[in-house]
Structure formats: C-alpha cells, structure tokens
Amino acid sequence: MNFKKHLRDGLIDNNPVLIQLLGMCSTLAISTSLFNGIGMGVSVTVILICSNVVISLLRKFIPAKIRIAGYIVVIAGFVTVVDLLLQAYLPALSASLGVFIPLIVVNCIILARAEAFASKHSVAASALDGLTQGIGYTAVLIVISVVRELLGNGTFGGGILGPDGAGIRIIPEGYPALLIILPFGGFITLGLLIALIQRLSRRSAEKAETEEAA
C-alpha cells in the first residue's frame, strides 16, 4: 500500500466530490459554515472507514445478488451509531446537519467505495481507502464552507470560534453577499472549485507530457 498515492487519489486525482461528482446533496446543503463542514466530513470519514473494513471482512460471505442490500445494512448500522453519538455529545452539530446525517446511509460516496474497492480488497487497503477518500471529501467541504461563510456571512469559524460560536467577523455587517449562503451560492462555489481542479490537472498533465518528450 502506498499511502501517498492513496492520499493524492483521494484529494486530487479521484476526489469523490470534484472528480467523481458524488455526494452533491450534502456538499451543497450543509457547507454554510466551518462547523458544519468539519462535522459532516469527519462523520462521513468515520463511517467510510468502518463500513469499508466490515464489508471487506464479509466480502466472501455476502451473496452477489444481495450485495447492495448487504452494504446498506452495514452502512446504516454505523450511521445510526454516529447519529446517536452526535445527538448525545454534539447536539448543536446534530441539529445543524439535521436529516443529512441519516441520509449518509444512501450517500453515493460510501456505496461507491464499498462496491468499487472494499468488496475487492483486503481490510487494511479498504481502511486506507476509506481514510483517504474521507480526507478528500472533508477537505472539499471545508474549502467550500469557508468560502461560503466568509463571502455570504462575513465570518470565519462559525459554530467554533468567536463569541457564542458566531465566528470571527472578517467582513463588516451589511457587506457580505447573502446569496452565497443560499443553494445558488453553493452551486457557483462548487462549480468554480471543480473548474480550478480541472485546470490544474490539465496543466500538470501537459507538463508531464512535455517532460517525457524532452
């Protein structure tokens, strides 16, 4: 196992949001503050790792005809655990994320990694895949959340920093573009980020081709 390769794959080359375009609903819906972004990202990462490990352990015992149903049962078990833990220890985060925590059960990122990777590889490799894909998902959520919170609300670290968790005000009140906090702003921010990653990837590929030709 090559950790650096897996990490680059999760962050850039095969990022679940920017490249695979999975998990769009939660990405656009909850990425309005740093608190939400970190909370959802960590939750999905934990569930990814745990479900990948269990599915890898059971891959030879789950009949092919019911494998998707089997995967959902495994994922639902871990989603329930995470949901209950958030309600018990981080009720503010649980209330903020709302229905999007239970909806992780059908998050395409987790089902895709279960089908494409965990069902075909060892436990250690599956755990590493869950970790790196989760890191990639969390990184994108944090970037989008920071941009939308800053431009739409004028603050940084909402839910974590500042008085009463209101965030540190960077832009004076009255100046932020509230439209960025709305779904439209989520689409625009995500689209620009995808375009940036595509541009950087193309430039990297062109540079590699030039070096090979030389």
The pair of structure tokens assigned to 47 is 């569930």
Q: What pLDDT, on the 0 to 100 scale, is given for residue 107?
A: 85
Whether residue 198 has pLDDT greater than 70: yes
Q: What pLDDT, on the 0 to 100 scale, is given for residue 201?
A: 82
Most distant CA atoms of the chain, gap in Å: 60
Select from 22, 50, 27 the least CA-distant residue to 183: 27
Instruction: Taking the CA atoms of 197, 198, 200 and 204 in sequence, report the sign of the dihedral they define.
Output: positive
Q: What pLDDT, on the 0 to 100 scale, is given for residue 165?
A: 73
Say how many CA atoms lie within 13 Å of 10 toward its Cβ: 25
The pair of structure tokens assigned to 37 is 């972004």
Mean pLDDT of the chain: 89
What confidence tens digit (pLDDT) does each residue in 14-73 have?
899 998 888 888 888 888 889 999 999 999 999 999 999 999 999 989 888 899 999 999
Whether residue 81 has pLDDT greater than 90: yes
Select from 115, 117, 122, 102 the least CA-distant residue to 47: 102
What confidence tens digit (pLDDT) does each residue in 161-179 have?
877 777 788 888 877 788 8
Distance CA 142, CA 36 (A): 9
Whole-structure pTM value:
0.90
The pair of structure tokens assigned to 141 is 């959520």
Q: What pLDDT, on the 0 to 100 scale, is given for residue 211?
A: 74
φ and ψ of 168, to 5 deg: -90, 125
